[in-house]
């Protein structure tokens, strides 16, 4: 039998999930609304999430979510998943965008202290990750997407090295040999994906050609222009995040380079636009909703068991093969 959630109780009572939460926690609620909530609880057999209640009661009932770049569709999707879970449990979310800037990260962590948040979900930069990993805070912290080895904080991450290696293996299997990899310089994610790319290239007898790029689309487009002007143009480009992949596609379009006739392209994040470029772009799809929901579950567990050992959940990506990687010289439809 499916577990009854607070949303079902709220719908049956004709109130918001936040009102259900207030009624069940003994806070002031209109008498008629309280009666409807209690009747809905009896009718559904709803049992409150004690871990979430404990987390709420400790501080402000607010969750902090600090992401590296809200323009990145990956973080947009994760934020949506976090907010959905928070809303269902009567929690609010403060969303902060750092633009991969360590100074902004420090400022927002101070803000979380001032706001007395009940917990923080945080995607730190490469610069900040080692410090966060060994820093204690007044609230529980769950690291997402980027993290360093830690015994203090829970983390939900992707197996980045394996995902990048899988893309290399796919490209190699389609006949590509000169495969250039572009990776974000500001995150541990970029480092891990570069490591997976280089290891796979060497294992397959290929010569790695990896480049770290600064945050922002300008660096990506300039790099692609240089690659196209080189004496030996790459047969395929691998981009390590969604914004970078978009930058590569835009640069190729502006240069009059056709995908996949002139060059193969693959990258990360299965965004809607990736289906619309030519015959579609091959991507590694990250389990974004699972990342957000796991992060919230970890915060709830930490609220119920503050002394428990930190946990690390490592998730796998899925390769979505499309027409951007048919192989050099393949006949086109």
- Say if CB 298 and CB 82 are below 8 A apart: no
pLDDT for residue 130: 73
pTM above 0.75, yes or no: yes
pLDDT for residue 266: 98
Q: How many whole angstroms from its chain centre is CA 316?
A: 12
Residue appearing with tokens 């690659």: 227
Q: How many CA atoms lie within 13 A of 19 on its CB side?
A: 20
pLDDT for residue 27: 65
- Say if CB 98 and CB 68 are below 8 A apart: yes
The C-alpha atoms of residue 205 and residue 333 are separated, in whole angstroms, by 31
pLDDT for residue 34: 83
Give the C-alpha distances (Å, rounded to integers) separating 284 from 9, 167, 223, 243, 268: 38, 7, 22, 14, 5
Give the C-alpha distances (Å, rounded to integers) separating 263 from 96, 136, 329, 330: 38, 48, 10, 11
| CA-CA-CA-CA torsion sign (138, 142, 144, 149) | positive
The C-alpha atoms of residue 52 and residue 190 are separated, in whole angstroms, by 33
The C-alpha atoms of residue 21 and residue 19 are separated, in whole angstroms, by 5
- The residue among 78, 184, 70 whose CA lies nearest residue 127 is 184
Q: How many whole angstroms from its chain centre is CA 104?
A: 19
Our CA angle for 182, 183, 185, nearest 5°, is 135
- Say if CB 139 and CB 193 are below 8 A apart: no
Q: Where are the alpha helices (DSSP H) in 25-151?
A: 31-44, 50-58, 73-88, 102-115, 129-133
pLDDT for residue 1: 42
Q: How many whole angstroms from its chain centre is CA 49?
A: 25
Q: How many whole angstroms from its chain centre is CA 20?
A: 30
The C-alpha atoms of residue 266 and residue 320 are separated, in whole angstroms, by 10
Q: What is the DSSP letter of 3?
A: P
- The residue among 239, 205, 224 whose CA lies nearest residue 324 is 239
Residue appearing with tokens 């502006």: 254
pLDDT, one tens digit for every residue, the chain (333 residues) = 456 778 888 898 999 888 887 777 656 778 888 889 888 888 887 866 655 655 555 556 889 999 998 988 899 999 999 999 999 888 899 999 999 898 999 999 999 998 889 899 999 888 887 777 667 888 899 999 887 666 688 999 999 999 999 999 999 999 999 999 999 988 889 999 999 999 999 999 999 999 999 866 688 999 999 999 999 999 999 999 999 999 999 999 999 999 999 999 999 999 999 999 989 999 999 999 999 999 999 998 888 888 888 899 999 999 999 999 998 866 554
Q: How many whole angstroms from its chain centre is CA 305?
A: 25
């Amino acid at each position: 039998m499916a577990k009854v959630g607070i949303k079902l109780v709220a719908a049956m009572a004709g109130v918001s999930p936040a009102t259900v939460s207030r009624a069940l926690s003994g806070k002031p609620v209109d008498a008629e609304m309280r009666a409807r909530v209690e009747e809905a609880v009896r009718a559904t057999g709803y049992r409150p999430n004690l871990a979430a209640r404990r987390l709420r009661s400790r501080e402000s009932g607010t969750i902090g979510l600090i992401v590296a770049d809200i323009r990145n569709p990956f973080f947009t999707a994760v934020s949506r998943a976090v907010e959905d879970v928070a809303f269902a449990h009567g929690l609010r979310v403060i969303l902060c965008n750092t633009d991969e800037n360590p100074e902004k990260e420090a400022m927002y962590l101070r803000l979380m202290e001032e706001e007395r948040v009940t917990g923080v979900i945080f995607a730190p930069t490469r610069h900040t990750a080692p410090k966060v990993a060994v820093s204690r805070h007044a609230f529980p912290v769950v690291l997402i997407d980027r993290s360093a080895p830690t015994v203090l904080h829970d983390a939900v991450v992707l197996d980045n090295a394996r995902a990048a290696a899988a893309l290399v293996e796919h490209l190699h299997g389609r006949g590509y040999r000169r495969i250039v990899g572009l990776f974000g310089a500001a995150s541990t994610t970029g480092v891990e994906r570069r490591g997976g790319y280089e290891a796979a290239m060497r294992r397959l007898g290929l010569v790695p050609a990896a480049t770290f790029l600064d945050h922002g689309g300008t660096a990506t487009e300039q790099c692609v222009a240089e690659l196209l002007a080189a004496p030996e143009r790459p047969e395929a480009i691998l981009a390590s995040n969604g914004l970078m992949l978009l930058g590569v596609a835009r640069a190729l379009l502006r240069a009059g380079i056709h995908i996949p006739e002139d060059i193969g392209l693959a990258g990360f994040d299965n965004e809607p636009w990736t289906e619309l470029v030519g015959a579609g772009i091959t991507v590694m799809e990250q389990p974004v909703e699972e990342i957000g929901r796991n992060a919230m579950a970890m915060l709830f567990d930490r609220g119920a068991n503050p002394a428990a050992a930190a946990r690390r959940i490592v998730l796998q990506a899925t390769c979505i093969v499309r027409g951007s990687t048919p192989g050099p010289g393949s006949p086109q439809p």
